[in-house]
Chains A and B, each alone.
Chain A
């Protein structure tokens, strides 16, 4: 039974043999992890974000340990789209998993330009639109924090390609479901929920921020409940599939996201713990489903049993 359980999912037009993506910025281009894991046993890798112009990235330190997670502030270090197309993209053709390009920018025009150039390449199977990088000043995340800007970026990118567009949302907003609806209406095929949560740490000996960039993005299990809720809220607001992410380390964690409404999951920080985790999760998902005589992972998406557990009201309470 375990062998026949179907883990394949479809995200927009993108067919994934496994419902596991490797998070952007955590996994290089996949090549870095190939000595430690068979990339044919993951769904795909989301590449590190690329921008129109090259970027040196943020000053160091760029990483800080925090309770149950870590802060990072890399700052979109990348070679710029032209160099990337010329020197990097051809190498992705040999990947045995799906390859999802990631596009970042500082204007609507940036996003459209980079998307059009990148999506034109056959090595790239789909695009993630990173409108939610918290580590490039106020500009990077602005797009994901404003429903109108989200809509404008997604519309502009949509005109450049028919390939699957996954729009990565920020948790640092009041109403993520509202932003999600805008992205869907503007033509997104799927949503990645969530990017990192903004955070800060201070060294009490030097009184200096512990990150060179002062602030950073929090990842790891510390943000998992925030992410599960975001997936749940977004899933109720839109019809397009969701790639759930935020602190997934184990099969149990992954299942929470599927039940909350994610069609696939993305693993980032956990790969720093043990690069074998994505394959272990896929194996254990099969076991979990087989034990319950469920034939496909698709059957549990969004099946969290919410109906019977609404807020309890005492008799006589008003409102």
Chain B
């Protein structure tokens, strides 16, 4: 049996304020006191949304009460000898939270085999979250499994009375899972598929470029090439964008410095070292799991 010690996927989210955060005096933000813990849960429901795409609901009232849109959990399958997997928190309401994932390796396969009543330990919520208070017209861009990290933020935005357009791309129509759900939640849907089976035939970022009305905030979660494209579109439109980055994690809690991304030193999210003038110049390495996974696109130096 092949075990995994680093994550197969990482999906994250953003924090809840709107302006690009002001840098503090030394140019760095203090990390918030972590509300995270280990949650011993049981699987409440399991739905196969498409071949290899699974939605797992579990009983975790405490997790629900402290989760912000865009955060993730590390899911530890029972037995404890297999590695944890970082997964965006899809739903969080009442006593039930859920994760939505594509089976892409041995661990996600193991998670996919869990059934109602099975034990599932998760650590979380982890990472920061999306920042969205001041926006009025938000474009959410989701590619493939990136959809797992954007439902909570879409719900919050709709509740706050904002316009939410979901630009949602996947390889094929059947992999555009949960699109009816987002419509029911009050999102306007624009879809794209690689094979042309639904919506725009091509990349979802092309559909974003063609959108007639300019959003005032872009939130994106998906594969790195999509995030880079969303980032350059945002720059051309002059619209701020937040990207929930994808990277291999080991610890998921900021302990190993394996999942870093080059970030502008002036970013409020930049870790405070190396100190200015002592190496790295204007760029520092930030942990995607801890300082992120959500970063302002214009502050990334990747």
Contact = CB atoms under 8 A, between A and B. Distances in A.
Interface of A: 25-28, 32-33, 35-36, 48, 53-57, 60-65, 67-70, 72, 74, 77-80, 83, 87, 219-221, 249-250, 269, 271-277, 280
Given A36-B36, A53-B278, A277-B80, A67 B253 contact: no
Nearest to B38: A36
Given A25-B257, A69-B5, A83-B278, 16 more contacts: A28-B256, A32-B290, A35-B38, A54-B273, A54-B275, A57-B285, A62-B258, A68-B2, A72-B256, A78-B273, A79-B272, A80-B275, A219-B5, A273-B5, A273-B80, A275-B123
Contacts of B83: 272-273
Contacts of A77: 257, 260, 285
Nearest to B281: A56
A72 B6 CA distance: 10
B251 A32 contact: yes
8 contacts: A26-B256, A32-B290, A53-B278, A55-B274, A56-B280, A61-B248, A274-B84, A275-B123
A53 B279 contact: yes
A250 B80 CA distance: 9
A111 B260 CA distance: 27
Contacts of B261: 60
Given A32-B251, A272-B5, A48 B38 contact: no
Given A28-B254, A72-B256, A77-B257, A274 B2 contact: no
Nearest to B26: A87
Given A25-B256, A77-B260, A274 B121 contact: yes
Count chain B CB atoms within 10 A of each CB in A55, A62, A271 and give the residue with the most.
A62
Contacts of A57: 257, 260, 285
A76 to B, nearest CB: 9
A63 B255 contact: no
Contacts of B2: 67-68
A28 B6 CA distance: 16
Interface string B259-302: 11100000000001111001110011100001000000000000
Top 8 closest pairs, chain A to chain B, by CB: A54-B274, A79-B273, A28-B255, A70-B5, A32-B255, A63-B258, A56-B280, A54-B278
A32 B80 contact: no
B281 to A, nearest CB: 9
B110 to A, nearest CB: 12
B76 interface: yes
Given A271-B251, A274-B84, A36 B123 contact: yes
A275 B252 CA distance: 11
B160 to A, nearest CB: 29
Interface residues of B, number: 45
Interface of B: 2-6, 8, 34, 36-38, 76, 80-84, 105, 121, 123, 247-261, 272-275, 278-280, 283-285, 290
Contacts of A27: 251, 255-256
A72 B249 CA distance: 11
A70 B81 CA distance: 15
Given A63-B250, A80-B278, A272 B80 contact: no
Contacts of B84: 272-274
A25 B257 CA distance: 8
A78 B251 CA distance: 17
A74 B257 contact: yes
Contacts of A271: 251, 255
B80 A276 contact: yes
A272 B275 contact: no
A63 B38 contact: no
Contacts of A56: 274, 279-280, 283-285
Nearest to A221: B3
Nearest to A83: B275
Nearest to A32: B255
Nearest to A34: B34
Contacts of A61: 247-248
Which of B37, B81, B82, B247 has the most CB atoms of chain A within a 10 A radius of its CB?
Answer: B81
A259 B181 CA distance: 57
A35 B81 contact: no
A68 B83 CA distance: 10
Nearest to A57: B285
A48 B80 contact: no
B6 A272 contact: yes
